[in-house]
Amino acid sequence: MDGENTFKQWKKQCLNKIDFSKKGSVDEAISNIVSCLNDSDNYFTTSSCSGRIILIDGVSDSTDIQKQNCSWLFVTHQKCEKADLCAGLEKSVGDAVLKFEPFVLHVQCKQLEDAQRLHSVAINSGFRNSGLTVGKKGKIITAVRSTHCLEVPLAHRGKVLVDEGYIDFLVGVANQKMEENHRRIERFYDCLQSSFREKIGKCYSEGETKEKSVYKRRRKRTEEHSKRDFCENVKRHTESELEDDFESGLSLFD
């Protein structure tokens, strides 16, 4: 029972911590997911963000990739407006970059089997860059992640490099990504509840909607193909690992 008590202790310590984030609270769009996990005996969340569109101002000509000295010109966890971006860009004095960053979640899990279940939920919901970490002290974390992103330089040394027409188009692209992000969050919550009910890590097995899981889509394609496509199937099976990383659907394997 030592492992169980250790996990309970870790959970208690973590959930009692003060929220030091800039925002100071859990993002609304994912509060149901966070509650669902923290109410379970086998999980607790350690960090999360529902996704955001941010305009950051980095130091020009900096080689520091981590950009620890960026300032925030604008941030939203919802869709954005062209006026917000333009207003933010006016304040730029360095290299302004617009980024879309999707939902991300870190969850500590009691046992490996719990982590695997949550990992399946994440993959089935479209968060295909998700993975586990297993620490030396037995700490098991599932990180829910996606490659779904946008990163667009817009200003250099405070000078805006694009016209308003481009900013308008970009706002549309960023908002589409935010919409897709919210759809995937809903899918994640549905899959999570399904998983808790069935404890088998699958979802959409009953009353399946048109939106099929990635795993089901792959299996269906495999069944439909003829021998001519056998080689193509082998390629897809192994390349699907890289597809999970490259959402452009283009992949390589060795």
| Own/partner long-range contacts of 203-208 (Cβ < 8 Å, ≥24 apart) | 203/121, 203/124, 204/124
Q: How far is the CB of 206 from its own copies (least distance, A)?
A: 21
Q: Rounded distance, CA 213 to CA 198, Å?
A: 17
Phi, psi (deg, nearest 5) at residue 178: -65, -40
- Closer residue to its own copies (CB): 3 or 166: 166
Three-state helix/strand/coil letters over 110-141: CCHHHHHHHHHHHHHCCCCCCEEEECCCCCEE
- Closer residue to its own copies (CB): 149 or 207: 149
- Closer residue to its own copies (CB): 36 or 150: 150
* Percent helix, strand and coil across the chain, each to the nearest 5: 45, 20, 35
Q: How far is the CB of 148 from its own copies (least distance, A)?
A: 7
Comparing CA positions, the residue from 156, 112, 175, 173 lying closest to residue 138 is 112
Q: How far is the CB of 12 from its own copies (least distance, A)?
A: 15
Q: How far is the CB of 203 from its own copies (least distance, A)?
A: 16
CB 43 within 8 A of CB 109: yes
- Closer residue to its own copies (CB): 133 or 207: 133
Six token digits for residue 200: 């088998």
Comparing CA positions, the residue from 177, 205, 200, 197 lying closest to residue 54 is 177
R_g of the chain, CA atoms, integer Å: 21
Q: How far is the CB of 37 from its own copies (least distance, A)?
A: 10
- Closer residue to its own copies (CB): 45 or 194: 45
- Closer residue to its own copies (CB): 97 or 191: 97
CB 148 within 8 A of CB 180: yes
Q: How far is the CB of 190 from its own copies (least distance, A)?
A: 18
- Closer residue to its own copies (CB): 8 or 202: 202
Q: How far is the CB of 191 from its own copies (least distance, A)?
A: 17
